[in-house]
């Protein structure tokens, strides 16, 4: 599933192409891509046609494209996208052939770049687009990356800020860990506590911080939490620099290019391979319908 770096790469790629563009046509090929838009395809199409996109923003794994004000309403709105497990948002030339697994196409006209198509393709159909109202943020800070407005889609309001967000409340995060007996990896994957990390980057950050994934969060010292946060940020920033992680053709940027962070992984997906730090084999254990990868020597359970 795309995590923070992958979604941020997509957002950053979309931003210059869509900001200021007018939506001239909307084609919904598969209603399953509108599961978060309860009013259906006809409403999605009529609501968006003629509207202007004013930016591209992200919080955690959600991204949204704020819209200009519609006539007759004072409620700000945005196109909200969630990539699910295999969703892709691609930029294509106008009239380009349909993508494999294409679900929705937005034809746009940009004042500088001219006509383009924004294509939402999704093999497994777990992702979605929707038009959603924007509401004030609970903390009064900007809604997320790519926007200065203190607004966030109602569908995203429950998602916590991510560790790279300038408004991330580090003190509150530390306090939450101190009250939790849950395994630290479980806490890192809780989008209500901290967003955008996901399974891959949780394993990588815990390996870098030398923390066993089953360590109770409340058992971590203040110094260890500081080290963990530093490693989480370092892992996310490195993945961003390398375009995200691609294990197959499902994750690509807006131009269809893969990310290269898979070549930099130290623990995730390296079962049986030598730990880059100590040489012992990386182990894999079952974890809530997924897997955890770690070094049993470097990451001893305390």
Neighbour count for residue 66 (Cβ, 10 Å): 22
Model confidence pLDDT, tens digit, residues 33-68:
999 999 999 999 999 999 999 999 999 989 999 999
Catalytic residue among 3, 6, 8, 231: 3
Residue 285 C-alpha from the chain's centroid: 25
pLDDT of residue 239: 86
Q: Which residues are annotated as part of the binding site?
A: 101, 124
Taking the domain 170-295, which CATH number applies? 1.10.8.50
pLDDT over 90 percentage in the chain? 77
Cα separation, 144 vs 66, in Å, equals 12
Helix (H) or strand (E) holding 92: strand 87-92
pLDDT of residue 246: 44
The question of whether 111 is a catalytic residue gets the answer no
Q: Which residues are annotated as part of the binding site for DNA?
A: 101, 124
Model confidence pLDDT, tens digit, residues 167-176:
999 999 999 9
Taking the domain 4-153, which CATH number applies? 3.20.190.10
The question of whether 38 is a catalytic residue gets the answer no
Pairwise pLDDT comparison (241 vs 106), residue with the higher score: 106
The encoded tokens of residue 15 equal: 């931003």
Catalytic residue among 32, 39, 290, 301: 290
Model confidence pLDDT, tens digit, residues 92-139:
999 999 999 999 999 999 999 999 999 999 998 899 999 999 999 999
Residue 1 has pLDDT above 90, yes or no: no
**3-state DSSP assignment of residue 7:** helix
The question of whether 290 is a catalytic residue gets the answer yes
- Cβ(210)–Cβ(298) under 8 Å? yes
Cα separation, 255 vs 250, in Å, equals 13
- Answer whether 0.75 is exceeded by the pTM: yes
3-state secondary structure 114-133: EEEEEEEEECCCCCEEEEEE
- Between the two ends of the chain, the Cα-to-Cα distance in Å is 30
**3-state DSSP assignment of residue 135:** strand
Asked if domains 4-153 and 170-295 share a fold, the reply is no
Catalytic residue among 11, 61, 176, 270: 61
The question of whether 61 is a catalytic residue gets the answer yes
Domain boundaries, the chain: 4-153, 170-295
């Amino acid at each position: 599933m795309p995590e923070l770096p992958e979604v941020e790469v997509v957002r950053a790629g979309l931003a210059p192409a869509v900001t200021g563009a007018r939506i001239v046509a909307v084609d919904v090929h598969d209603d399953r891509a509108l599961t978060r838009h309860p009013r259906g395809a006809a409403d999605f199409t009529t609501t968006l046609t003629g509207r202007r996109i004013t930016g591209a923003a992200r919080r955690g794994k959600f991204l949204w494209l704020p819209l200009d004000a519609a006539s007759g309403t004072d409620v700000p709105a945005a196109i909200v996208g969630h990539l699910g497990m295999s969703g892709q948002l691609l930029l294509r030339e106008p009239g380009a052939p349909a993508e494999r697994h294409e679900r929705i196409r937005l034809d746009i006209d940009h004042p500088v770049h001219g006509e383009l198509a924004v294509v939402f393709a999704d093999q497994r159909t777990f992702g979605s687009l929707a038009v959603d109202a924007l509401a004030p943020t609970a903390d009064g800070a900007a809604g997320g990356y790519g926007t200065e407005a203190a607004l966030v889609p109602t569908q995203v309001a429950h998602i916590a800020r991510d560790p790279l967000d300038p408004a991330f409340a580090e003190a509150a995060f530390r306090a939450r860990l101190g009250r939790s007996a849950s395994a630290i990896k479980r806490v890192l994957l809780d989008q209500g506590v901290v967003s955008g990390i996901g399974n891959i980057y949780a394993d990588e950050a815990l390996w870098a911080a030398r923390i066993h994934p089953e360590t109770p969060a409340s058992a971590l010292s203040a110094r260890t939490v500081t080290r963990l946060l530093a490693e989480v940020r370092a892992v996310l920033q490195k993945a961003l620099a390398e375009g995200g992680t691609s294990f197959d053709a499902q994750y690509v940027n807006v131009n269809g290019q893969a990310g290269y962070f898979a070549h930099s992984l130290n623990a995730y997906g390296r079962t049986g391979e030598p730990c880059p730090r100590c040489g012992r084999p990386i182990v894999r254990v079952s974890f809530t319908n997924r897997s955890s990868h770690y070094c049993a020597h470097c990451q001893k359970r305390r």
